[in-house]
Amino acid sequence: MSANTKGRLLLTAQGMNSDHWTRVLASGGRDVVLEPAAGEDPSIDYAVLWRYPHGLLKRLPNLKLIFSAGAGVDHIMSDPDIHGMHANVPIVRVVAPNLTQHMVEYVLWRVMDHHRQGAFYRHQQAQRTWNDTPQPTTDRVTVGIMGLGELGRSVAAKLGALGFNLAGWSRTQHELPGVDCHAGPEGLTPFLQKTDILVVLLPLTQETEGMIDYDLLTNLRQDGPLGGPCLVNAGRGRLQKEADILRALDDGLLKEVSLDVFEREPLAEESPIWQHPRIFVTPHAAASSDPDHLGPLMVAQMEAFERGEPLKHLVDRARGY
């Protein structure tokens, strides 16, 4: 470990407020740097990373612990050095009540907007038209949640309290109160066939990349009370194939879509998604990392590591999340 017994920390988080993060992470006297020394820098013990340039980690020969500064670790797991010289370095995921609450709020907002025909009424307002449309109650609508980790479970609890029927799908079997749980390839089609509003909260792995494609969307329930199925993706952009989503909308397989994430970000100005009348776009804003909440959790983990205590929320490298 470096001369500072607290361990020296590298912060490389593109698109985030580095000054704010530095103040929080250094508040206990820990050394925080934004760039490693030229060449190899053996003084760095910890790294807090978000969308960092690959090749950086090979310059940190004594790295002992890695933190993701945002939800998801695909940006780290896609780095070849993670599987090479740093194959045994623990990686810590972000799990924080503040982040979870923001994600739950976003999903509730989009699900309720689709459920209560928000797009229909916004169009009517623009046309100065005064007409009603059928409004089914929540107990007639099934929300299907793909991904039953911390975020998926929290979303399910809130949607269940509103009276929605709930279905869930994940890689491995889960048992959740009030949720009709499905798992694995054999459980995917039965899950989709009962789903009116599909909420995607999966991690991005080799197995899930591009999973939300045309073939998957063809299996969504077509005779439900909303007049067609809806899609909400607040997980990862590369889970979806945007050309397939557009095709499904044009072919009538999807009624409406809410997207917070995209295959490439920021979304290109020329993308047809911007102007599509049945797609609601937000700029990866469902749940932003707040250093005032996440920083102290990271510091506590570093201190536990230095005391030789077990770490929480470690990435399972075999699963990729």
Which pLDDT tens digit goes with each residue over 85-142? 999 999 999 899 999 999 999 999 999 999 999 999 999 999 999 999 999 999 999 9
pLDDT at position 157, please? 99
Element (DSSP H or E) covering residue 16 = none
Which structural domain range is residue 17 located in? Answer: 8-94+289-306
Specify if 312 maps to a domain. Answer: no
Clarify whether residues 102 and 124 are in a common domain: yes
Clarify whether residues 139 and 248 are in a common domain: yes
In this predicted structure, the answer to whether residue 152 has a pLDDT above a threshold of 60 is: yes
Phi-psi domain of 10 (left: phi exceeds 0; alpha: psi -120 through 50; beta: other): beta
Which is nearest to 103 in space by CA: 256, 229, 282?
282
Specify if 192 maps to a domain. Answer: yes
Specify if 186 maps to a domain. Answer: yes
**What are the structure tokens assigned to 252, written together?**
């009538």
pLDDT at position 28, please? 80
Quickly state the pLDDT bin for 147 (edges 50, 70, 90).
very high
DSSP letter for 240, please. Answer: B
CATH number at residue 43: 3.40.50.720
**DSSP assignment string, 113-155:** HHHTTHHHHHHHHHHT---------GGG-EEEEE--SHHHHHH
Quickly state the pLDDT bin for 148 (edges 50, 70, 90).
very high
Specify if 316 maps to a domain. Answer: no
Residues 6+ apart with CB under 8 A from 32: 8, 9, 10, 11, 22, 25, 26
CB 39 within 8 A of CB 55: no
Average per-residue pLDDT in the chain?
Answer: 96
Handedness of CA 54, 58, 59, 61 (dihedral sign): positive
Q: What's the domain count of the chain?
A: 2
Give the residue numbers annotated as catalytic, written as ranges: 236, 284
Clarify whether residues 149 and 58 are in a common domain: no
pLDDT at position 120, please? 97
H helix runs in the chain, sequence order: 18-25, 74-77, 97-115, 118-127, 150-161, 184-193, 214-217, 242-250, 291-306
Clarify whether residues 87 and 109 are in a common domain: no
In this predicted structure, the answer to whether residue 5 has a pLDDT above a threshold of 80 is: no
CA distances to 18, 49, 104, 113, 285 from 63, rounded to whole Å, are 20, 13, 34, 46, 31
User: In the chain, pLDDT over 70 holds for what percent of residues?
Assistant: 98
Specify if 315 maps to a domain. Answer: no
Handedness of CA 301, 304, 306, 312 (dihedral sign): negative
In this predicted structure, the answer to whether residue 233 has a pLDDT above a threshold of 70 is: yes
Find the mean pLDDT for residues 226-255: 99
Please tell me the pTM assigned to this model: 0.94
Clarify whether residues 101 and 34 are in a common domain: no
Backbone angles phi, psi at 288, to 5 degrees: -90, 145
Start-to-end C-alpha separation, the chain: 27
Clarify whether residues 271 and 302 are in a common domain: no
Find the mean pLDDT for residues 253-282: 98
Clarify whether residues 151 and 248 are in a common domain: yes
For residue 156, the tally of other CB atoms under 10 A from its CB is 27
CA distances to 51, 138, 211, 299 from 46, rounded to whole Å, are 16, 47, 33, 10
Single-letter residue type at 176:
L
Clarify whether residues 53 and 196 are in a common domain: no
Clarify whether residues 105 and 60 are in a common domain: no
Specify if 142 maps to a domain. Answer: yes
Specify if 123 maps to a domain. Answer: yes
Specify if 311 maps to a domain. Answer: no
Clarify whether residues 251 and 296 are in a common domain: no
Phi-psi domain of 55 (left: phi exceeds 0; alpha: psi -120 through 50; beta: other): left
Clarify whether residues 157 and 28 are in a common domain: no
Backbone angles phi, psi at 184, to 5 degrees: 70, 175
Clarify whether residues 277 and 296 are in a common domain: no
